[in-house]
Structure 1
């Protein structure tokens, strides 16, 4: 079995062993080595997802021994925290959650009990397990961020991995999906405002141990547990698979599934190493606007397989769209075929992204940007108070602008599982495993028969669910809306992409001093936009915004001056698309330095010193033309698909207040900013690894 680390390291671990009388020592050793490999120090805060079953209670017992070992040796170790989630789907769930909390407290841990708040009382029965899982992880993630916890441990074990393998095999998943759960993966925060930490580390220390091993650990320690009756409900496909694999007839099959998973895991590691190398070579990210440029010429010169190219395309589309789940389907194959062509000359929408040739590249480069018209399943809608001089989360980009989840280093040990042929797809895994000696011919036949039976049953279940499909109107990850409210002095995370702030402008105390101070309440009240309704709404840029800016301009730059400004803007955006050139950069900076970009005040009314605030409201109007002139010059240089992905601030009446990414704001007394901070990095998110 391959353990996937957050640094990209892959360690080959032994396959799950048969249950024996004293597995706790082995589990503790694996637990300690996995925590060390993940870089988790004893002083770090960790949380444990505690369901009350034998798996989570065994995990708590092992974590206690790990924690006590440090304390007894004189090393300070932070007390672990248990998180119990009451889904509220059974009458007795609340009492069971309190019982589990008492057990966790008795072990010396802290413990929080969380309650799911369902829309309409409970989720739709056709998607109950999916909804419960999403709600559970969402609550645990929020609790970890609230209490400064950076690592979450779960009790997934080898039997869970085998069940997931059979479910995905029945769904015709590829080798990437059949590789199953990773020992280490990431949650990427929904609220990255003023957070240096990019994600919540998710660790599964028990993946190479069977559930019978965990029963043994609990019994030896005298630890009680709760059996969830939902796990025995045959209405759910996973429970039916669990019951079948528990049959003695499948003992050999259950053991031989894990070498197949290890081979899929090794294959995924190889594909991802090649993917990351190719991304660093052919992909460039715009740090301001979050679109990607793909060099088709460099791609053509790279001898890569369709499996690796597919991983590249999935990574790019998931990053640009910032969607929880990676895209799938035949459309990906069409996109890959077009990238293989000598010249890319078409524009289309795919998986929430707009794909088109880079203007002026003659099809040698492809631009992938957000398509706001496409439905998005996870809009960020969290608000946080603004603090003066607050440090927004930093975007960790390498010199080429490619942000990767993992590095390329992979560590191996003896007993390396073989690498499968990814071009044949997941349906060939059983046959490849038989030829490589990973499974016997009898087991391969048995698993193939089980796969067919599961697929037929799941197909009938899906048809029944479609007839009464009532999708949740409220997702744990946000509402699917096109406009968000942003109160004055707050920061909003918009579309999982931009940290947008609208706050008082910081001005120098004296022109000769560097000390700065925020505006006072009286000064803010001078602004005609803030006096009555100090709030804005964020939406995406629309074509009508360009017309509005054009109408706002009452003076214009001279022709010579406008040409130089436009040339500088063209260089700025070409540098994102085509790469930078130092000589050209120096030349453009020199030209720009000769151009005065100060606003023309000849026709602008001067602010008067009257004590009546209404007499000074004209200052905002005089502030607009000079700002609009520069923004219009920049907008003319930005491709239209990229413009549509920019956040725009408007008031309740729809009046354009600011385009933060371009430095335009209507009022001189306030400052609007937008920092591109993607939640899911290039290389995939949590859903890619679970």
Structure 2
């Protein structure tokens, strides 16, 4: 723990980083455990019970239990920063130094526990997550001007990381930019940061903040593809006992969260000021402060001497590829893709549309104007059984296409509409609608649905196209070209909002 503290101190880490490794945390899998919309993306409970034991203690434990251990031969190599710090720590007075350093780490942990609890409360009170993959922050409930910088920075970082599903830390100038932006009330401008686009929510007069995924930001170059029947065989569920342990652990952590008056580093900005504040509060003696500062300076110089700018060419030579921004990928019938790490998308062709509709079919709006189910027959359709679809995000041309398609009418179509509207008075058991007519009606309904989705959020919606780039379906707004085309897009991010980053025990 002392090595990690010095290492992060030399990297100018803040108080949350200096709190060190968590005693217990949740690790969320890199894949979703079920295609079912109602299922959870279960996590692994990671507990580190030996975290505070010294190496000497671990040796004695192994010797007492007649257990053999393996020594890593690289542990003595000073080329590695952690080993270099460890060797330097051996030359310092052990008892006083370790005791005081541990007191600083404990104070940092109290600060982190308090910040995590504040962020959890703010998320529950002020954030609404929509099924289309965007979030709305109520600034009036949030009261950004009354929240400490460290809490507000962590809060907005958690929201942005959840929406973008890119869990890179939000630091430095980006964090400062976001802090200034969210404190501007009412919100009147827009901002792109950390893979997200932020702006005032429509009709909110700047009192609500819209956070949606920015399609112009780098996205994963590799998207997962899998088939439903293969995927479901690997479903696994956490036993109820483990789930109860997680619930109990979180409940106990709420009782252990310190009061604001007991948090000592809440207003401390830099790593250097943390040491100064610890000395002012008599947590660190003058000698321990000097030793820590000396270790920090030495390791900082090592770090700076090895830091250099790596070009894209150098990255490629080392086998590291830059992130691709191409979002289009082929998708076979029955196959499922994880689009932008946020949506599970699948499609298939059905031989018959029955009256008993599943939730996915219900969302596809397969009803006539009188509310009765219809049997549809493809005649003039761009969908074929040998088709390979592609998935990409929504673009402006898609909106224009829907508008143009919804206005396309002819005398034959008008006559068919007249027959449909008269179906409530006549006993008609079956009707035939051309795919072109079905697509037009579907486009009209989709345009109505689009009105409820902010323009900025529409751009990250998944869209199904054919190999020629022609629009087939936008499942999130109930549009599809053919009634036989079954398409599903479920917003299912890998890591939940605020999850996977903090200790709760």
TM-score over 0.5 (shorter chain): yes
Q: Which residue of 1 aligns with 2:299?
A: 454
Could you tell me which runs of 5 or more consecutive residues in structure 2 were left unpaired when the two chains were aligned: 238-248, 362-376, 421-431
Q: Is 1:431 the counterpart of 2:273 in the alignment? A: no
Q: Following TM superposition, by how much is the alpha carbon of 1:291 offset from its aligned partner in structure 2, in angstroms?
A: 1.4
CA distance in 2 between counterparts of 1:381 and 1:390 reads 19
CA distance in 2 between counterparts of 1:250 and 1:469 reads 43
Partner SS state of residue 315, structure 2: coil
CA distance in 2 between counterparts of 1:664 and 1:619 reads 16
In structure 2, relative to structure 1, the CA distance for the partners of 1:324 and 1:208 (3 Å cut) is same
Q: Is 1:632 the counterpart of 2:475 in the alignment? A: no
Q: Which residue of 2 aligns with 1:420?
A: 264
Q: Following TM superposition, by how much is the alpha carbon of 1:295 offset from its aligned partner in structure 2, in angstroms?
A: 1.9
In structure 2, relative to structure 1, the CA distance for the partners of 1:495 and 1:464 (3 Å cut) is closer
Q: Which residue of 2 aligns with 1:490?
A: 335
CA distance in 2 between counterparts of 1:211 and 1:544 reads 63
Q: Following TM superposition, by how much is the alpha carbon of 1:601 offset from its aligned partner in structure 2, in angstroms?
A: 7.1
CA distance in 2 between counterparts of 1:328 and 1:408 reads 30
Q: Which moved more, 1:223-232 or 1:627-636?
A: 223-232
Q: Which residue of 1 aligns with 2:174?
A: 331
The structure 2 residue matched to 1:666, chosen from 466, 481, 505, is 481
Q: Which has the higher contact order (CA 8 A, sep 6+)?
A: 2
In structure 2, relative to structure 1, the CA distance for the partners of 1:515 and 1:675 (3 Å cut) is closer
Map 1:265-304; keep pairs closer than 5 Å: 265-286=109-130, 288-300=131-143, 303-304=146-147
Q: Over residues 102-147 of structure 1, what are the superposed CA-to-partner deviations in whole Å (9 max), with x where a residue is unaligned?
A: xxxxxxxxxxxxxxxxxxxxxxxxxxxxxxxxxxxxxxxxxxxxxx
Map 1:169-184; keep pairs closer than 5 Å: 169-184=9-24
Q: If the length of structure 1 is used for normalisation, what is the TM-score? A: 0.59
Q: Following TM superposition, by how much is the alpha carbon of 1:299 offset from its aligned partner in structure 2, in angstroms?
A: 3.1
Partner SS state of residue 143, structure 2: helix
The structure 1 residue matched to 2:46, chosen from 194, 202, 212, is 202
Q: Which residue of 1 aligns with 2:288?
A: 443
Q: Over residues 261-316 of structure 1, what are the superposed CA-to-partner deviations in whole Å (9 max), with x where a residue is unaligned?
A: 11111111111212222222222221x11212122233338732222211211111
Q: Following TM superposition, by how much is the alpha carbon of 1:374 offset from its aligned partner in structure 2, in angstroms?
A: 0.9
Q: Following TM superposition, by how much is the alpha carbon of 1:663 offset from its aligned partner in structure 2, in angstroms?
A: 1.5
Q: Following TM superposition, by how much is the alpha carbon of 1:222 offset from its aligned partner in structure 2, in angstroms?
A: 3.7
In structure 2, relative to structure 1, the CA distance for the partners of 1:619 and 1:224 (3 Å cut) is farther
CA distance in 2 between counterparts of 1:236 and 1:389 reads 41
Map 1:381-392; keep pairs closer than 5 Å: 381-387=223-229
In structure 2, relative to structure 1, the CA distance for the partners of 1:496 and 1:441 (3 Å cut) is same
Map 1:305-384; keep pairs closer than 5 Å: 305-376=148-219, 378=220, 381-384=223-226
The structure 2 residue matched to 1:538, chosen from 391, 396, 399, is 391
In structure 2, relative to structure 1, the CA distance for the partners of 1:192 and 1:198 (3 Å cut) is same
Q: Is 1:602 the counterpart of 2:416 in the alignment? A: yes
CA RMSD of aligned residues (A): 4.1
In structure 2, relative to structure 1, the CA distance for the partners of 1:331 and 1:196 (3 Å cut) is closer
CA contact (8 A) 2:378 2:434 kept: no
CA contact (8 A) 2:158 2:497 kept: yes
Partner SS state of residue 423, structure 1: coil
CA distance in 2 between counterparts of 1:547 and 1:688 reads 48
Q: Following TM superposition, by how much is the alpha carbon of 1:526 offset from its aligned partner in structure 2, in angstroms?
A: 11
CA distance in 2 between counterparts of 1:328 and 1:479 reads 23
State the aligned residue count.
456
Partner SS state of residue 186, structure 1: strand
Q: Following TM superposition, by how much is the alpha carbon of 1:673 offset from its aligned partner in structure 2, in angstroms?
A: 1.1
Q: Following TM superposition, by how much is the alpha carbon of 1:443 offset from its aligned partner in structure 2, in angstroms?
A: 0.8
Q: If the length of structure 2 is used for normalisation, what is the TM-score? A: 0.78
In structure 2, relative to structure 1, the CA distance for the partners of 1:197 and 1:464 (3 Å cut) is closer
Partner SS state of residue 488, structure 1: coil
In structure 2, relative to structure 1, the CA distance for the partners of 1:618 and 1:278 (3 Å cut) is closer
Q: Which residue of 2 aligns with 1:563?
A: none
CA contact (8 A) 2:153 2:178 kept: no
Q: Following TM superposition, by how much is the alpha carbon of 1:628 offset from its aligned partner in structure 2, in angstroms?
A: 1.2
The structure 2 residue matched to 1:226, chosen from 50, 64, 70, is 70
Q: Following TM superposition, by how much is the alpha carbon of 1:371 offset from its aligned partner in structure 2, in angstroms?
A: 0.4
Partner SS state of residue 658, structure 1: strand
In structure 2, relative to structure 1, the CA distance for the partners of 1:224 and 1:386 (3 Å cut) is same
Q: Following TM superposition, by how much is the alpha carbon of 1:355 offset from its aligned partner in structure 2, in angstroms?
A: 0.9
Q: Following TM superposition, by how much is the alpha carbon of 1:352 offset from its aligned partner in structure 2, in angstroms?
A: 0.7
Could you tell me which runs of 5 or more consecutive residues in structure 1 were left unpaired when the two chains were aligned: 1-160, 395-404, 558-598, 607-616
CA distance in 2 between counterparts of 1:540 and 1:196 reads 25
Partner SS state of residue 51, structure 2: coil
Q: Is 1:501 the counterpart of 2:346 in the alignment? A: yes
Map 1:96-245; keep pairs closer than 5 Å: 161-194=1-34, 196-245=40-89
Q: Which residue of 1 aligns with 2:461?
A: 646
Q: Which residue of 2 aligns with 1:680?
A: 495
